[in-house]
């Protein structure tokens, strides 16, 4: 019995030292693939906008890349609370519902919404035009509230909407800019028109942030500070330009 | 949970959303049943013909539309037609551009196919004696149809047709997949607006249930008045 206790105790100590060894690496949970933010390169390694940005943040704090843990979206917050990783760096929008469970860093990107049209649609002259949106998205809220003289056509999926835009049933569609750019096929008549829309914050939200356990306020402060540094010293812009041809900085 | 339910159903907008959806659903179902029924009558008569050149094309039509899901038919007519080269320049596009008409066409053809087969069945099972009696009176084919066969066949079709009406009401929920703001769409809107799947869909379900009971009541009356002679005593 005594022997067993000693063995158990020494195992615990060993396990602890193993943990302590990894303490200087920040483990980050991510839901991949979600291109262009995170996806697997042909050689199997993780890459993408958030992976590169996350690694810069980790380097700023520990001098090393993050240790990435892939976790499906719906398990991301439970995995964080179960200590499978120390932060979530996975396009998680900051909202009040999530703030009840986790602590958010400063936001590090926000995607604007954009109009796409085949007929040179002008958002300032929307009277009687048919505009497609995905049902109950922030884009739906925005169009319903601000373009009251337009006819709002609500779709279940963005693909159906793109088909109707292609066939001429819609004058324009209003979607997340990266989603819209992804839908447009080679040689299509559809182009992005008008200004990118990010305002008001009430509708479009506060962007995307890294998430932490509530008690890890120190790590949160370090990451927020590192993000500010990277945004200022030009590394952020370098990474952004490689993945996007529009501004997602916030 | 109850607080969110209170919030949803204390907002008059909720009822407006459901009311608009209900009106669209009733409109769609009523129009497609009306037009589909009118198409089905001549088709059913022709379908009972012994001439293969008349019978087979109609059999093919009913077989196709009863053998494939309504959702597939709707997608073919709504999205498929839009991919035909140059359709945007023809006058058809005026009709097909809106979601309403492609949807009405799909629903009408589908219910016409089912109704044709229902009528055919009751026309073919007209008691031999009635037809022989009509012949003995010297009625020709047209007179027999008009005076004996059709009135009797329509009466005997009522129970089966009431099923078709109710199925059509339920099937009409797929109109929301092609942007029509029907009753299910209202449920989805409430679901997405308040993140409340139960409240949103249960209320839509209750309205469908009420509509179904309404249809049942009407057909019950019809059966009592027109099928009284066939009812068990």
Mean pLDDT of A70-79: 86
Residue A22 has pLDDT above 60, yes or no: no
Considering the entire predicted model, what is its pTM? 0.73
Please check whether residue A181 lies inside any domain of the structure. Answer: yes
Lowest mean pLDDT among A87-101, A225-239, B49-63: A87-101
Nearest chain A residue to B78 by CA: give it: A164
Give the pLDDT of residue A21: 43
Residue A97 has pLDDT above 80, yes or no: no
Give the pLDDT of residue A18: 44
Q: Let me know whether A86 and A72 are in one domain.
A: yes
**Are the beta carbons of A167 and B82 separated by less than 8 Å?**
yes
Contacts of B179 in chain A (CB under 8 A): 153-155, 164
Q: Let me know whether A79 and A130 are in one domain.
A: no
Please check whether residue A3 lies inside any domain of the structure. Answer: no
Q: Let me know whether A59 and A182 are in one domain.
A: no
B83 touches chain A (CB under 8 A): yes
Our CA dihedral for A13, A19, A22, A28, rounded to 10 degrees, sits at 180
Contact B140, B39 (CB under 8 A): no
Contact B185, B120 (CB under 8 A): no
Please check whether residue A249 lies inside any domain of the structure. Answer: no
Give the pLDDT of residue A137: 76
Nearest chain B residue to A137 by CA: give it: B192
Please check whether residue A119 lies inside any domain of the structure. Answer: yes
**Are the beta carbons of B82 and A169 separated by less than 8 Å?**
yes
Q: How far is A191 from chain B (nearest CA, A)?
A: 19
**Are the beta carbons of B79 and A160 separated by less than 8 Å?**
yes
Please check whether residue A9 lies inside any domain of the structure. Answer: no
**Are the beta carbons of A153 and B179 separated by less than 8 Å?**
yes
Which of A156, A163, A164 lies nearest to residue B177, judging by beta carbons? A156
A122 DSSP 8-state letter? -
Give the pLDDT of residue A239: 94
Give the pLDDT of residue A46: 92
- The CATH number of whichever domain residue A214 belongs to comes to 3.40.190.10
Mean pLDDT of B188-214: 88
Q: How far is A53 from chain B (nearest CA, A)?
A: 32
**Are the beta carbons of B97 and A169 separated by less than 8 Å?**
yes
Please check whether residue A10 lies inside any domain of the structure. Answer: no
**Are the beta carbons of A153 and B185 separated by less than 8 Å?**
no
B224 touches chain A (CB under 8 A): no
Q: How far is B82 from chain A (nearest CA, A)?
A: 6
Q: Let me know whether A154 and A191 are in one domain.
A: yes
| Three-class secondary structure of residue A94 per DSSP | coil
Q: Which long-range contacts (CB under 8 A, 24 or more apart) does A30-34 make?
A: A30/A54, A30/A68, A30/A69, A30/A70, A30/A71, A30/A88, A30/A89, A30/A90, A31/A70, A31/A71, A31/A72, A31/A73, A31/A76, A31/A90, A31/A91, A32/A70, A34/A90, A34/A91
Q: Which long-range contacts (CB under 8 A, 24 or more apart) does B211-216 make?
A: B211/B22, B211/B25, B211/B26, B211/B169, B212/B166, B212/B169, B212/B170, B215/B162, B215/B165, B215/B166, B215/B169, B216/B162, B216/B166
Q: Let me know whether A41 and A100 are in one domain.
A: yes
| Three-class secondary structure of residue A134 per DSSP | strand
Residues on chain A bordering chain B, Cβ-to-Cβ distance under 8 angstroms: 135-136, 153-156, 160, 163-164, 166-169
- Distance between CA B65 and CA B109 in Å, rounded? 7
Nearest chain B residue to A97 by CA: give it: B195
Please state whether the peptide bond connecting residue B118 to the residue before it is cis, i.e. omega within 30 degrees of 0.
no
- Distance between CA A78 and CA B3 in Å, rounded? 26
Mean pLDDT of A41-56: 93
B94 touches chain A (CB under 8 A): no
pLDDT-based confidence at residue A162 (cuts at 50, 70, 90): confident
**Are the beta carbons of B179 and A167 separated by less than 8 Å?**
no
**Are the beta carbons of A153 and B192 separated by less than 8 Å?**
no
Taking all residues of chain B, what is their mean pLDDT, rounded to a whole number?
91
Give the pLDDT of residue A186: 67
Which of B83, B181, B189 lies nearest to residue A136, judging by beta carbons? B189
Mean pLDDT of A8-35: 68
Highest mean pLDDT of the ranges A165-179, A233-247, B159-173: B159-173
- Cα–chain-centroid distance for residue A146? 26
B4 touches chain A (CB under 8 A): no
The number of domains in chain A is 2
The residues, any chain, with a CB within 8 Å of residue B187's CB and separated by 6 or more, are B18, B21, B200, B201, B203, B204, B205
Residue A209, φ and ψ in degrees, nearest 5: -135, 165
Please indicate whether residue B34 or residue A137 has the higher confidence score (pLDDT): B34
Q: Which of B179, B193, B195, B196 to mutate to test the interface with A (most CBs of A within 10 A)?
A: B179
List, for residues B39-50, the tens digit of each pLDDT value. 999 999 999 999
Give the pLDDT of residue A55: 95
pLDDT-based confidence at residue A20 (cuts at 50, 70, 90): very low
Q: How far is B195 from chain A (nearest CA, A)?
A: 10
Residue B195 has pLDDT above 70, yes or no: no
Q: Let me know whether A212 and A104 are in one domain.
A: yes
CA distances B146 to A73, A236, B3, B45, B47, Å, are 66, 82, 61, 11, 16
Q: How far is B81 from chain A (nearest CA, A)?
A: 9
Mean pLDDT of A117-134: 85
Question: Residue A79: which domain range?
Answer: 22-110+206-243
Fold adopted by B2-6+22-224:
MetI-like fold (1.10.3720)
- Angle subtended at Cα B214 by Cα B211 and Cα B217, rounded to the nearest 5 degrees: 155
**Are the beta carbons of B82 and A164 separated by less than 8 Å?**
yes
Q: Let me know whether A119 and A200 are in one domain.
A: yes
pLDDT-based confidence at residue A19 (cuts at 50, 70, 90): very low
Q: Let me know whether A214 and A91 are in one domain.
A: yes
List, for residues B85-121, the tens digit of each pLDDT value. 888 888 888 888 888 999 999 999 999 999 999 999 9
Lowest mean pLDDT among A8-22, B41-55, B59-73: A8-22
Q: Let me know whether A199 and A211 are in one domain.
A: no
Q: Let me know whether A90 and A147 are in one domain.
A: no
Ordered strands of the A103-109 beta sheet = A67-70, A27-30, A87-88, A208-212, A103-109
């Amino acid at each position: 019995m005594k022997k067993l206790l000693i063995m158990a105790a020494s195992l615990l100590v060993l396990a602890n030292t193993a943990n302590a060894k990894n303490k200087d690496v920040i483990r980050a949970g991510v839901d991949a693939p979600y291109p262009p933010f995170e996806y697997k390169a042909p050689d199997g390694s993780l890459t993408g906008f958030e992976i590169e940005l996350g690694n810069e943040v980790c380097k700023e704090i520990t001098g090393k890349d993050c240790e990435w843990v892939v976790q499906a979206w719906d398990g991301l917050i439970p995995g964080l609370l179960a200590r499978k990783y120390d932060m979530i760096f996975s396009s998680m929008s900051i909202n009040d519902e999530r703030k009840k469970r986790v602590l958010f860093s400063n936001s590090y990107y926000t995607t604007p919404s954009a109009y796409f049209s085949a007929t040179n649609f002008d958002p300032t002259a929307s009277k009687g035009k048919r505009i497609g949106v995905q049902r109950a998205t922030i884009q739906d809220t925005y169009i319903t509230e601000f373009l009251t003289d337009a006819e709002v056509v609500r779709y279940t999926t963005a693909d159906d909407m793109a088909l109707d835009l292609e066939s001429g049933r819609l004058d324009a569609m209003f979607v997340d800019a990266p989603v819209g750019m992804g839908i447009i096929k080679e040689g299509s008549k559809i182009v992005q028109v008008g200004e990118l829309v990010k305002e008001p914050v009430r509708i479009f939200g506060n962007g995307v942030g890294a998430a932490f356990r509530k008690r890890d306020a120190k790590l949160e402060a370090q990451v927020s500070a590192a993000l500010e540094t990277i945004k200022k010293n030009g590394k952020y812009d370098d990474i952004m330009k490689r993945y996007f041809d529009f501004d997602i900085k916030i | 949970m109850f607080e969110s339910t209170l919030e949803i159903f204390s907002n008059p907008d909720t009822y407006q959303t459901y009311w608009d959806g209900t009106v669209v659903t009733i409109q769609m179902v009523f129009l497609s049943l009306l037009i589909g029924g009118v198409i089905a009558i001549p088709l059913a008569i022709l379908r009972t013909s012994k001439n293969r050149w008349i019978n087979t094309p109609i059999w093919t039509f009913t077989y196709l539309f009863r053998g494939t899901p309504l959702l597939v038919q709707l997608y073919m007519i709504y999205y498929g037609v839009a991919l035909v080269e140059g359709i945007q320049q023809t006058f058809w596009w005026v009709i097909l551009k809106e979601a309403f008409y492609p949807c009405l066409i799909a629903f009408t053809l589908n219910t016409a196919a089912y109704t044709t087969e229902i009528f055919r069945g009751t026309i073919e099972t007209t008691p031999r004696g009635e037809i022989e009696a009509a012949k003995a009176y010297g009625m020709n084919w047209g007179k027999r149809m008009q005076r004996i066969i059709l009135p009797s066949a329509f009466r005997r079709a009522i129970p089966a047709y009431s099923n078709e009406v109710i199925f059509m009401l339920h099937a009409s929920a797929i109109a929301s997949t092609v942007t029509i703001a029907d009753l299910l769409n209202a449920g989805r809107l409430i679901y997405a607006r308040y993140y409340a799947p139960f409240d949103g869909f249960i209320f839509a379900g209750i309205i469908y249930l009420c509509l179904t009971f309404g249809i049942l009541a009407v057909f019950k009356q019809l059966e009592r008045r027109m099928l009284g002679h066939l009812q068990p005593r």
